[in-house]
Amino acid sequence: MFTGIITDLGAVQAIESPGPDAGGAETDCRFVFKTGYDTAGIAEGASIACSGVCLTLVDKGPGWFAADVSGETLSRSTLGDWAAGTPVNFERAMKLGDELGGHMVSGHVDGIAVVADRRAEQGSIRFTFEAPAELAKFIASKGSVALDGVSLTVNEVDGRRFGVNIIPHTAQATTLGGRQPGDRVNLEIDMLARYVQRLLAAS
């Protein structure tokens, strides 16, 4: 589990990929990431959220770690768009007793949202995102979402579109500061909304 509070802004160092299979589908590959974490203190098998996607550390060295990524993850998240140099938000898994500064985030991306608009607003950045139609019903005004792994509060919802504000610290410390209209981001809806919807559907 994670909180959506980014603790390192790193980047893709390399991607080792066998390429698509005979049917054209994406196959598993290994991502190597540059990081500011002290990787000596991170055990192999640990979970790290990489721009919202929970990945398992399988190899490491000073200033870097590697994780294997499945074809399913590549197709359902923005990881399939990444290349060497792509900036990445990192968050280590929370420990029991850690401060919950954001909201409960699983690291299981539900879909991809697209930046529809960006504008300055009283010192912060106002973004409008467009969610996939099947996920829009789970997003509510004053509710929580995770975008590229960043915990954010929804300001308002209008159909498939929703707005959030990014303060200067978040813009500087995460990938969101560089996002522009048309960019794709990983979207995880609030898990409470998912369970409420499931209960309502079963009743």
> Domains of the chain: which residue ranges?
8-92, 111-202
Does 19 score more than 90 pLDDT?
Answer: no
Among 3-7, 97-101, 128-132, top mean pLDDT goes to 128-132
Report d(CA 198, CA 194) in Å as an integer.
6
CATH node for 111-202: 2.40.30.20
Integer distance in angstroms from the first to the last C-alpha of the chain?
29
What is the structure's pLDDT at 54? 97
Q: Does domain 8-92 have CATH number 2.30.33.40?
A: no
Global pTM value = 0.89
| pLDDT band, very low/low/confident/very high, at 96 (cuts 50, 70, 90) | low
The tens digit of pLDDT for each residue in 68-78 reads 999 999 999 99
Mean pLDDT of the chain: 91
Q: Tell me 90's DSSP state.
A: E
Say if residues 121 and 37 touch (Cβ distance below 8 Å): no
The tens digit of pLDDT for each residue in 104-131 reads 788 999 999 999 999 999 899 999 999 9
Query: Which DSSP helix (H) or strand (E) runs through 97?
Result: none
